[in-house]
Amino acid sequence: MDPIEGVRKEISSKRDEMIELQRALTAVPALGPQNGGEGEWEKARLLIAWLERLGLGPYELASAPDPRVPKGERPNIIVTIPGREKQGTFWIMTHMDIVPPGEARLWESDPYKMVIKGDRLIGRGVEDNQQSLVASVFAAACVKKLGLRPRRTVGLLFVSDEETGSSHGVQHVLKAGQRFSPQDLALVPDSGSPEGNLIEIAEKSILWLKFVVTGKQCHASTPEKGVNAFEAGSHLVVRLGALRERFAATDRLFSPPTSTFVPTRKEANVPNVNTLPGEDIFYLDSRVLPQEDLERVTGEVRRICAGIEKDFGVRVQVEEVQKASSPPTSPDAPIVATVRDAIRQVYGVEASTIGIGGGTVGAYLRAAGIPTVVWSRIEETAHQPNEYCLVSNMLGDSLVMALAMVG
Ligand SMILES: [Zn+2]
């Protein structure tokens, strides 16, 4: 029998077990402490029991201390299958934590009791990120059961804290030990499209800035006695628009193809109409093409702020709320070809490489020098009420992963 057919048959035969694991995982809400939860340990314990039952033990833990949860730590689990060649590990990274269900009345069923409707599984977490988590578990189990030696060592990495910053998840694992090498490559199946034809290889740099404009508060009837921070801040917002012209490079890998600079959050100033505000606070969300230098962006921001200080007699403080950048993965990196070939064999589509506006955990791996692609075939219902995934996608993606492992 054609080896692909063997893998396909083995994974299809696991359909019911995969659905069962989805159901079990959905019943254990793994919410981080910032989301009002007790962390991921209960879910991790369930997953470990399944890993052992499927012959995927032994596993390794790289837990991150966190006094905010009852167990005092956040679990990160690593399973490896030795490969034929010693040339780095092929990682598949998924996350165990979920986001809260949100408004209960928008759900047609209990978010933590998985419902099956035809090809759909419905419940919180079934798509984000359990579809891929379950797919990776069964891909590895299938490769092991059929006695196929993967080309590279396979590493399944199940992390915590993806939804609330990753400092207790992938960032901790990256810091904690010599598990990674620049020879490694990684698939992060946590974003994608319904056709499964988009392989994300690059992200814009993220720069979130907080602006605190300080003037002098006074009675609104005597404005000459104060300095209006709100008025100065409003001019500042408008002048920051110049960043778009100053950093106008384009890159067709991305949509939109330019860097973006968007004023977003605005904090309230005075509660009453007849006080001239002495303080004004707002935020700017910037997504900068990786080829632009973030230091040049912050330099230009400082120059604009100095102009406002001079023209309006205020003080402007700029604070970096979030700053992250990662080098793009080359479209010619072997991981891109491996995943693209497997997608073609399973789904019959030719996938193209894209860049996005930023914010996946793939960026941490890229920043550590590991060529990383973000891909999955999903319905894009993550974080929504009535989140669902398609069983056919879970099986298909599992086959893609198994083929990519065997390489
Ligand atoms: Zn996710």
Q: What digits encode the pLDDT tens for the residues 43-88? A: 999 999 999 999 998 999 999 999 999 999 999 999 999 999 888 9
Q: How far apart are the first and last CA of the chain?
A: 18
Residues around ion ligand 1, judged by CB within 5 A, are 128-129, 190
Tens-digit pLDDT profile for residues 257-295 = 999 999 999 999 999 999 999 999 999 999 999 999 999
Q: Which of 10, 40, 97, 190 is catalytic?
A: 97
Q: How far apart are CA 191 and CA 378, in angstroms?
A: 7
pLDDT of residue 407: 84
Going from the Cα of 216 to the center of ligand 1, the distance in angstroms, rounded, reads 45
Q: Which pLDDT score, from 0 to 100, does residue 308 have?
A: 98
How many of the other CB atoms lie within 10 Å of CB of 262? Answer: 11
pLDDT given at position 4: 85
pLDDT of residue 1: 62
Q: What are phi and psi of 112, to 5 degrees?
A: -100, 5
Q: 40, 73, 161, 162: which one is catalytic?
A: 162
Distance from the CA of 70 to the center of ligand 1, in angstroms? Answer: 24
Ligand 1 centroid from CA 122, angstroms: 16
Chain centroid, CA 372 distance in Å: 12
Q: Is the pLDDT reported for residue 177 higher than 80?
A: no
Asked whether residue 249 carries a pLDDT value surpassing 70, the answer given is yes
Residue 360's pLDDT band, with cuts at 50, 70 and 90, is confident
Residues 96-155 have pLDDT tens digits of: 999 999 999 999 999 999 999 999 999 999 999 999 999 999 999 999 999 999 999 999
Alpha carbon of 132 to ligand 1 centroid (Å): 10
The letter for the amino acid at 174 is L
Residue-wise over 113-145: b if at least 16 C-beta within 10 A, else e?
Answer: ebbeeeebbbbbbbbbbbbbbbbbbbbbbbbbe
Task: Give the model's pLDDT for residue 203.
Answer: 95
What's the CA-to-centroid distance between 57 and ligand 1, angstroms?
25
- When pLDDT is cut at 50, 70 and 90, the band that residue 341 belongs to is very high
* 129 Cα: distance to centroid of ligand 1 (angstroms): 5
292-316: pLDDT as tens digits? 999 999 999 999 999 999 999 999 9
Distance CA 260, CA 241 (A): 10
Provide CB contacts within 8 A for 70, sequence distance 6+: 38, 39, 41
Is residue 97 flagged as an active site residue? yes
pLDDT digits (tens, 9 = 90+) for 379-402: 999 999 999 999 999 999 999 999
Cα(159) to ligand 1 centroid in Å equals 11
pTM of the model: 0.90
- Joined together, the tokens standing for residue 103 give 């408004």
Question: What pLDDT, on a 0 to 100 scale, did the predictor assign at position 86?
Answer: 85
What is the overall mean pLDDT for the chain?
96
Q: What pLDDT was estimated at residue 57? A: 87
Q: How far is the CA of 96 from the centre of ligand 1 (A)?
A: 9
> How many Å lie between the centroid of ligand 1 and the Cα of residue 274?
47
* Ligand 1 centre distance from Cα of residue 163 (Å): 7
Cis ω before 393 (30° cut-off from 0) = no
Average pLDDT on 179-187 reads 94
Geometric angle at alpha carbon 14, from 11 and 17, rounded to 5°: 145
